[in-house]
Structure 1
Amino acid sequence: MHKNVAVPTRNGEVDAHFGHCEYFSVFEIDGGTIKAERRVDSPDGCGCKSDIASVLAKDGVTLMLAGNMGDGAVRVLKANGIEVVRGTSGTARAVVEAWLAGTLQDSGIGCKEHGDHDCAH
């Protein structure tokens, strides 16, 4: 299995809000193990209104392991061929390792309100 997995990241940890992450940790998976890790910078401002889904898809990402995100972001990612698993926490690498071990499941819970979020959506 060869797959690129993205994790919205802040300070090495899964960012609780996809649209506010500092960067995306992209892990190259081959044969069920992490072969490489790289950083893809998050667009300035709100990731919710950026083209990050197409950027990640062009980079070969087919899976997003996230803390939380709204249903709109999930739809955009899926439209770009990126499967989404929400409800993760911990370091980006530990989350990918948990997915490889088969212990992660999508929480099915999406953001409904953003609190300090100022993207007007």
Structure 2
Amino acid sequence: MIIALPTRDGNIDDHFGHCDHYTLITLDDDKNIVSKERMDSPEGCGCKSDIAPVLAMKGVKVMLAGNMGQGAVNILQDNKIQVVRGCSGDIDVVVEKWLAGEIKDELIICDHHDCDHH
């Protein structure tokens, strides 16, 4: 399984659509981390880009994110990517907490930026 985290300076970027890059973490069947890679984000708003199908083609099944508009949630879910909103802090800690079952989707919807379809 591969999980994606919108990242800036080693932390969850507060907004999925404007992150510096995505950190893709591959887990084995026992949920051990086998690899971590950086994937640059597209220019502009991520929710209007083709990032969701690109992530899906790479095998991403879960997006651990901070805030995200409903349009982006819909696009990710349409691409069979589970969205978990409300994450914050160091990406390694977020992954550990998610793997331990300590993080659930907080249903946080962003409506404060220039992506007009949220």
TM-score strictly above 0.5: yes
Unmatched segments (≥5 aa) in structure 2: none
Q: Normalised by the size of structure 1, how large is the TM-score?
A: 0.92
Range 39-48 or range 75-84, more displaced: 39-48
Shift of 1:120: 4.0
Shift of 1:39: 0.6
Identity over aligned pairs, percent: 54
Equivalent runs, 1:32-43 vs 2, <5 Å? 32-43=31-42
Task: Work out the CA distance in 1 between the residues paired with 2:99 and 2:13.
Answer: 20
For residues 34-78 of structure 1, what are the alpha-carbon distances to aligned partners after superposition, in whole Å with 9 as ceiling and x for unaligned? 111001110011112100000000000000000010011000000
For residues 74-94 of structure 1, what are the alpha-carbon distances to aligned partners after superposition, in whole Å with 9 as ceiling and x for unaligned? 000000010000000011121
Shift of 1:7: 0.2
Q: Normalised by the size of structure 2, how large is the TM-score?
A: 0.94
Identify the residue that residue 2 of structure 2 maps to in structure 1. Answer: 4
Task: Name the Cα RMSD after superposition.
Answer: 1.0
Shift of 1:25: 0.2
Number of matched pairs: 116
Identify the residue that residue 77 of structure 1 maps to in structure 2. Answer: 76
